[in-house]
Chains A and B, each alone.
Chain A
Amino acid sequence: MKRGRVGSWGLALGLGFLWVPVLLLVGFAFSADRIPFQWGGVSLRWFAALAANERLIEAAWLSIRIAAGAATLAMLIGGAAGFALARWGGFGGRVLLGGLIGAPLVLPEVVTGLSLLLTFVALEALTGWPEGRGALTVLLAHGTLGAAYVAVVVQARLAGGERVLEEAAMDLGAGPFTAFCTVTLPLMVPALAAGWLLAFTLSLDDLVVASFVSGPEGTTLPMVLFSALRLGLTPEVNALGAVILLLAGALVGLAMLLLRARRVEGQGEGG
């Protein structure tokens, strides 16, 4: 199998390209040298410097709070939209609803960011809300982005034929609300959780949309990082990279466990 070998080489090359920069970043986080990516013996000094960098810590804490809020908002809106799209065959404006909820997935970030900023400015001029721009407007923007992803995940999850289960519950005397709470909602939980995590990490990682819609009181972690990278690399960035890789690894591990649980459960249902 000659092509099998080509594929394996391609896979090794691709994974190497993806991982070597990341691993070097993490490895050099433990270097004592003041110039990033120069080896000066093992040291944790940059982790200590990171922990003492108040501007960065403050921005990281704000980013985490925004991401948690945005992900929750995204889960509610995206979950409702995904549910409606998957379960209610035809309702007025279904196609438009599907198009609108998914639009942020296909729009370039600069377009989303600019158009949302202009919307917040217009809303404030008309209604006085949201007052100025900052953490709240970033949260609203990220919630809108995240809802697109949650809707896709939930819709895919509910696309199977499990509607029968709800009907069975209702045949056995459950009201539609009880059937939803006891049958459909538990089915949606893994998708909602995975969607929440996805929206959370997207929000944590977003620079472009946040830069457009934020204000003086809303400096997120990517904004601090971006201005640092523009001025030049510091070893603290390496240390932060190591910390985030660890956290992201843990989160992805959790998401995979959730999805695995979903798959096993899916097989149990014979689907």
Chain B
Amino acid sequence: MRRLLILVPVWAWLLAFVAAPAVILLGIALGQSTEGIPPFAPPVGPGLVWQGSLGNFATLFEDEFYFDSLLRALRIATSTAALALLLGFPMALAIARAPRARQALLLALVLLPFWTGFLLRMGAFIGLLRDQGLINGLLIGLGVVQEPLPLLYTEGAMLAGMLHAYLPFAVLPLYAALSRLDPVLEQAAMDLGATPGAAFRTVTLPLALPGIIAGFLLVFIPAAGEFVIPELLGPSEALPVGRVLWQEFFQNRDWPLAAALAVALLVLLILPIRLFQRLESRA
């Protein structure tokens, strides 16, 4: 009885705002765009007549613009996650092997920029990279270049911003895996004749693997749907799916197509998400 008192509101909330949205999203993706408020016709019309179609999904497959945006988003997410691991692994290792008392401080230093307002940090990148920005100002001042280099609105600027935003997501699970590792194991491998490199490859790396995979996925999953960073720092063509979805919704007001893009993105992310949840429940 008392349990019900707690469980009923929680269930009601979750059904209304987590489960129902998923169903409604899929429903609207099967609907059609119309002129009106709201600007769509649901797949089930008045009198429970089925009027839905798979037309929006067909468009995603037939129109390269949409299909490529999905693939591009996966590619950008993969690059971001790989970069975050490359930079995050040595960071996590150094933190895990620092004296205990210093570890909390170092972790706080990794996390604090994460709390300083994401848009403001992207603003800092704009200030650094644009034509009149700090980096071009320095380069011109030093006589390295005559004309400002086109740094902002490039793939490089976008990846730098993505790395800045998502690096802490990679460092945390890596640190969690590496701090559980007993350094004695690697020492033992070396005592038995392994070179430091071999000991690292055969002992530390395999044992850290769950952390590496978790770190990759924790960056990859949100990065695949990222909208803000490509919009503020990335090139104006070759849009990833997050930007295309945004455009369809806010500029073209084609809600059903935006919903179909969201469903397609979810389908592509189902496997990574399930894998991540498996890893989490084991840890």
Contact = CB atoms under 8 A, between A and B. Distances in A.
Interface of A: 2-4, 6-11, 13-15, 17-19, 21-22, 24-25, 28, 35-38, 77, 80-81, 83-84, 88, 91, 93, 97, 100-104, 106-112, 114-116, 118-119, 121-123, 125, 140-141, 144, 147, 176-177, 201, 204-205, 207-208, 211-212, 222, 225-226, 229-230, 233, 237-238, 240-241, 244-245, 248-249, 251-252, 256
B116 A17 contact: no
A115 B87 contact: no
Contacts of B250: 211
A106 B276 contact: yes
Given A109-B227, A111-B265, A118-B28, A252 B112 contact: yes
Given A37-B133, A114-B249, A115-B21, A18 B225 contact: no
A67 to B, nearest CB: 13
A118 B43 CA distance: 14
B2 A252 contact: no
3 A-B pairs closest in CB distance: A108-B225, A10-B90, A7-B94
A230 B228 CA distance: 10
B117 A111 contact: no
Interface of B: 2-3, 6-7, 9-11, 13-22, 24-25, 28, 38, 87-91, 93-95, 97, 104, 106, 108-113, 115-128, 130, 132-134, 137, 163-164, 167-168, 171, 196, 200, 221-222, 224-228, 231-232, 242, 245-246, 249-250, 255, 258-259, 262, 265-266, 269, 273, 276-277
Contact of A88 (B3, B11, B118): B3
Contact of A21 (B128, B221, B273): B128
Given A88-B3, A118-B259, A147-B13, A110 B25 contact: no
Contacts of A107: 266
Specify which of B91, B119, B225 lies most central, judged by the most chain A CB atoms within 10 Å of its CB. B119
Nearest to B197: A3
Contact of B119 (A10, A28, A102, A222): A222
Specify which of A140, A248, A249 lies most central, judged by the most chain B CB atoms within 10 Å of its CB. A248
A229 B119 contact: yes
30 contacts: A4-B94, A6-B90, A10-B89, A14-B87, A18-B109, A21-B124, A21-B164, A22-B116, A24-B128, A36-B127, A37-B127, A91-B3, A91-B7, A93-B11, A97-B7, A100-B15, A100-B18, A106-B277, A111-B262, A114-B249, A115-B21, A115-B22, A123-B16, A144-B13, A225-B117, A233-B126, A233-B127, A237-B123, A245-B117, A248-B117
Contacts of A14: 87-88, 90-91, 110, 167, 171
Contact of B90 (A2, A7, A252): A7
Chain A interface main SS type: helix
Given A7-B90, A24-B134, A110-B245, A17 B122 contact: no
Specify which of A7, A28, A122, A140 lies most central, judged by the most chain B CB atoms within 10 Å of its CB. A7
Contacts of B24: 115, 118-119, 122
A213 to B, nearest CB: 11
Contacts of B10: 77, 80-81, 84, 97, 101
Contacts of A147: 13
A205 B114 CA distance: 10
A155 B125 CA distance: 37
Contacts of A111: 25, 225, 262, 265-266
Nearest to B112: A252
A24 B110 contact: no
A23 B167 CA distance: 17
B60 to A, nearest CB: 15
